[in-house]
Structure 1
């Protein structure tokens, strides 16, 4: 909790050096300095959002990627408020300065509207109608197009940078401009390095096999060129297949075991990217960003005697298999796996093997259809409800619904954990 609060505190601290430096040099009236400062706050928040978008793995281990994405989204929304107040209460010395600022504001607003529907999941996870609209529009606005539209934030930042340089009463202050340029160059430099240079140092490997588990799910194994020394059970990676046929974008997948030399991924073929996964041939080079995830360290933070309750929906069972593989010998584990059809329980043999090796510590409950409140109340013991650590993985709307159901039967919010990869 303390680390998460520190992360959110960055929103207040990050703009301070720029704001204080400028106000120490400006001679404008107090009201004008206030609105100029609000423009700086908006600019700094957009810069900070860009920094968070590069997914620092060390920060993920500290607070979790979902908190990083949450702050990224909130900064993009809140920055529009001081930016608008700045625009309405200050004046630009030239047409170019005014137009550049306006273009940046409208670009940021367009990215926000687009991202709320296509990239955040915050609205579509809670509205079946919006989810249906999104699915229809994705026939045109595919994931890679969404990524490039999201990068309009970079254009907005550059427009604001030019806008500030064209305002003489601000640009004349040398100390401020040096710090302003340093902020911009460092953030954009980190972004360029992370997106185009750092991938050369990522884990690499080759597809070992690519097997259909059912008509919509595949098991893909990647043999690594070097052992992953930082991976933990329940982790996930962003994968990029070096195959022009599938595209060169990054996509997150959870590892289904706790090995460090060969990683296995369960891929549900639902989107325009994952539907191409069946065409990835053995031997295809793969680049892996990561690992990411907090499941294993969260398990270790709970008392050793507390049972683990793992709730997987469909392919959401993948990271839970890694936890089972690592902890079946030292923790009591209850896996609840819901599938659409009986034939979708494609890891039945593997789970049976884990159960036999667990010494009675592993309990498995597989259900066709989602677990209802009565199902969970019947399947879970009083001890599990009272003291268990719950890990829920699946489609985002299903995760939200399951969390609400667990709270209704007495599972406290602090003992329920999930990983949802939405911006």
Structure 2
């Protein structure tokens, strides 16, 4: 909790030097200066959201990717609100400066609305109707198109940067403008480095197998050129296939099924426009991997070793839980609950039976055809697990939210429920 509070304090700390510098130099009346502050705060929040979008590894290990994505999305909303106040209650004699400010505001508002619907789970994960509508619209607005729409935030930043440079009440203060440009250049440099230069340093490998598992799942194994030395159980990577027209060249997150640091195996449900075409990825295809990401293992290490662990997986969501079970089935009490669509989709049943045999009765496995209902969870879980257990949930976003609600209703504390949903 303390880490998350420190992380969220960036919303105050990050704009402060720029606001304080302008306040110390400007002689504008108080009300006008206040609305300039709002514009500066909105701009720094946009820059901070751009920095967070590159998923800094050190920050991920500190608070986790869900927190980074959460603040990224919230900053977009807060920036629109403060930019609206700045636009409505401040003025500029420069027509071009006003037009640039208006274009930037309406452009950022359009990008936010598009991103909230297509790239985050804030709405669609909580409404079946909206989820169905999104699925229909994605026939036109594919993920790759959505990613490029999201990158138009860089155009918005450029317009705001020029807007500020055209304002006489701002550009007359040299020290302030130097700091303003430093903020801008630093944020954009981090983005450019991470997106176009850093990938050359990422892990590389080749696809050594691509097999069907169940009705709509693929098991893809990638042999790495060098070991993934920092890989931990439960981690995931952002994966991109190189030099193939079979699938898009955008990054997609997938969890590792085991803890092998030389051959990474991914269990992938064929659901989106990218994953439906995984059948066409041939053995030998080169792959680039960003990561690893994940905090499940560090959370487990921080828990009481005597408290039970409860893993709840839906479909291919069992992948990271399988690697956690492999790492801890001989030393921790674990109950793994796996919801599958049909009996043929329980494709890791034999692996789990091997873990159970070797666990000395520490590992319990419950496989259910269809989603778990409240009565299923209440009957399967022991009183000790409900009262003291650490719960880890992985699966489609709506299913994760539904299972969280069910666990809360049977008495599981929210602070003992952990999940990593990968939407922005």
TM over 0.5: yes
Is residue 22 from structure 1 mapped to residue 19 from structure 2 by the alignment? no
CA distance in 2, matches of 1:290, 1:354: 27
Mapping of residues 136-285 of structure 1, within 5 Å: 136-242=136-242, 243-285=244-286
Q: State the shift of 1:382 in Å.
A: 1.4
Match of 2:248, SS?
coil
Mapping of residues 393-408 of structure 1, within 5 Å: 393-408=394-409
Partner of 1:391: 392
CA distance in 1, matches of 2:224, 2:360: 32
CA distance in 2, matches of 1:295, 1:207: 26
CA distance in 2, matches of 1:312, 1:245: 29
Partner of 2:411: 410
Match of 1:309, SS?
strand
1:402-422 deviation line (CA, Å, top 9, x unaligned) = 111111111111111111001
Match of 2:126, SS?
coil
CA distance in 1, matches of 2:367, 2:214: 17
Q: State the shift of 1:93 in Å.
A: 2.1
Match of 1:125, SS?
helix
CA distance in 2, matches of 1:268, 1:191: 30
Q: State the shift of 1:174 in Å.
A: 0.4
1:248-287 deviation line (CA, Å, top 9, x unaligned) = 1000000001111111000100000001111111111110
1:75-134 deviation line (CA, Å, top 9, x unaligned) = 000111111111111112211111001010011100111011101111000011111111
Partner of 2:81: 81
Q: State the shift of 1:169 in Å.
A: 2.1
Q: Contact 2:217/2:270 (CA < 8 Å) preserved in 1?
A: yes
Partner of 2:40: 40
Q: Contact 2:309/2:389 (CA < 8 Å) preserved in 1?
A: yes
CA distance in 2, matches of 1:208, 1:361: 34
Q: State the shift of 1:18 in Å.
A: 0.6
Q: State the shift of 1:151 in Å.
A: 0.9
Partner of 1:322: 323
TM-score, length-normalised on structure 2?
0.99
CA distance in 1, matches of 2:93, 2:273: 47
CA distance in 1, matches of 2:162, 2:320: 46
1:386-413 deviation line (CA, Å, top 9, x unaligned) = 1111111111111111111111111111
Q: Contact 2:235/2:294 (CA < 8 Å) preserved in 1?
A: yes
CA distance in 2, matches of 1:81, 1:370: 39
Is residue 376 from structure 1 mapped to residue 367 from structure 2 by the alignment? no
1:320-346 deviation line (CA, Å, top 9, x unaligned) = 001001111110111111111111101
CA distance in 1, matches of 2:125, 2:62: 26
Number of equivalenced pairs: 423
TM-align CA RMSD: 0.8
CA distance in 2, matches of 1:36, 1:401: 43
CA distance in 2, matches of 1:73, 1:44: 14
- Give every structure 1 segment of 4 or more consecutive aligned residues whose post-TM-superposition deviation is greater than 6 Å: none
CA distance in 2, matches of 1:280, 1:354: 31
CA distance in 1, matches of 2:89, 2:384: 60
Q: Contact 2:246/2:278 (CA < 8 Å) preserved in 1?
A: no
- Which stretches in structure 1 are left out of the alignment for 5+ residues? none
- Which stretches in structure 2 are left out of the alignment for 5+ residues? none
CA distance in 1, matches of 2:248, 2:412: 42
CA distance in 2, matches of 1:51, 1:393: 27
Give the stretch that moved more between structures: 354-363 or 264-273: 354-363
